[in-house]
Amino acid sequence: MATSASSKLNKAVKQQYMDLPQGDKVQAMYIWIDGTGEGIRCKTRTLDSEPKTIEDLPEWNFDGSSTYQSEGSNSDMYLIPAAMFRDPFRKDPNKLVLCEVLKYNRKPAETNLRRTCKKVMSMVENSHPWFGMEQEYTLLGTDGHPFGWPSNGFPGPQGPYYCGVGADKAYGRDIVESHYRACLYAGIQICGTNAEVMPAQWEFQVGPCEGINMGDHLWIARFILHRVCEDFGVVVSFDPKPISGNWNGAGCHTNFSTKEMRDDGGLKVIEEAIERLGKRHRYHIRAYDPKGGLDNARRLTGHHETSNIDEFSAGVANRGASIRIPRSVGQDKKGYFEDRRPSANCDPYIVTEALVRTCLLKEEGEEPTDYSK
């Protein structure tokens, strides 16, 4: 079976050690995004007391030459604590600490997209931008084949798996259940889960989160998923098209609203926002996966409930469009809309930033505006 050797280690033995009291010492696991813009790294330090807020956590550093982020001759990079959560693996009082990465000269690292996102979000605070992101993912065995699939073949075609139940329909539910509880414990704003169209594919939703919190909560939710899968001995993939052919890809549909859109008559504001998005399709496609659109090109084909990557479209209840306005929103004439273009491996900081730039800051053209000037 394609689960890891680690997962077969005796968990009762581990539990005995994890039950040992730790006195006043606290373990803080610092988490950051590596040079790929998709990979997550972590290391732990001992603190002498429980941090109560993010300000209690010291800066740290790491060897960027081992994470595709710097050269060996000048490898130190800085970790700046940004958001703190309870640790569902080591439990209270231990913490997970999401960090921003700075280069040796204290400028943001190339894949530190949080820095600019935060700046943009603070510019539009009064609009109270809310986000909800629907993170799809695929479970793989350590052999790289989807978990539960026959080892040298394929399951029956898509149809019975979406929200399915039963051993012949739902592959790996234990991971989903564990992840959900771990996120709730950690304080992640996880709002739902469902089995997806392709067997071994699942989705969880995080939100509603305001401003910078969306990126923070989604990245930690992803980290927790990686760690849960590691414990079970399987692998989670955020690749947008893990199996080519007549199998669904994986996206990260992003729901968005402002206070204005949520108030009576907000549909007009939604429609204006969509019109702006329609004029800036290429800028958003570049922002919606870590390879400037190359990853999404394998997924956004116009089939399998996706829009075509080369065309922008919008419609009520239309899952083949770039933007879908939920039917209830069309009826209530207020609410939110769903951008279905972001890839499963997108960086939520730049996705949310792009939506704010185009819809609220009313930017145009292919380049984001530099507000530092």
**In whole angstroms, what is the distance from residue 34 CA to residue 112 CA?**
9
Nearer to its own copies (CB atom), residue 140 or residue 350: 140
Cβ-based neighbour number of residue 193 at 10 Å: 18
Q: Does 149 bind its own copies (CB under 8 A)?
A: no
Nearer to its own copies (CB atom), residue 17 or residue 372: 17
Please count the residues of this chain forming the interface with its own copies, following the rule CB under 8 A. 55
Angle at the Cα of 209 from the Cα atoms of 89 and 26, rounded to 5 degrees: 30
> Minimum distance from CB of 61 to its own copies (Å)?
7
Binder among 21, 150, 159, 166 for its own copies (CB under 8 A): 21
> Minimum distance from CB of 199 to its own copies (Å)?
19
Q: Does 1 bind its own copies (CB under 8 A)?
A: no
**In whole angstroms, what is the distance from residue 126 CA to residue 94 CA?**
34
Name the segment binding its own copies (CB under 8 A); options: 161-169, 228-236, 265-273, 346-354: 228-236
**In whole angstroms, what is the distance from residue 335 CA to residue 260 CA?**
9
**First-residue to last-residue Cα distance in the chain:** 57
> Minimum distance from CB of 237 to its own copies (Å)?
10
Q: Does 107 bind its own copies (CB under 8 A)?
A: no
Q: Does 37 bind its own copies (CB under 8 A)?
A: no
Q: Does 232 bind its own copies (CB under 8 A)?
A: yes
Instruction: Read off the DSSP letter of residue 109.
Output: P
**In whole angstroms, what is the distance from residue 63 CA to residue 101 CA?**
11
Binder among 86, 90, 115, 169 for its own copies (CB under 8 A): 90
Do residues 109 and 102 make contact, with C-beta atoms less than 8 angstroms apart?
yes
Cβ-based neighbour number of residue 280 at 10 Å: 19
**In whole angstroms, what is the distance from residue 315 CA to residue 323 CA?**
7
User: Where along the sequence are the contacts to its own copies (CB under 8 A)?
Assistant: 3-14, 16-18, 20-23, 25, 27, 39-46, 61-63, 65-68, 72-76, 89-90, 104, 142, 223, 226-227, 229-230, 232-236
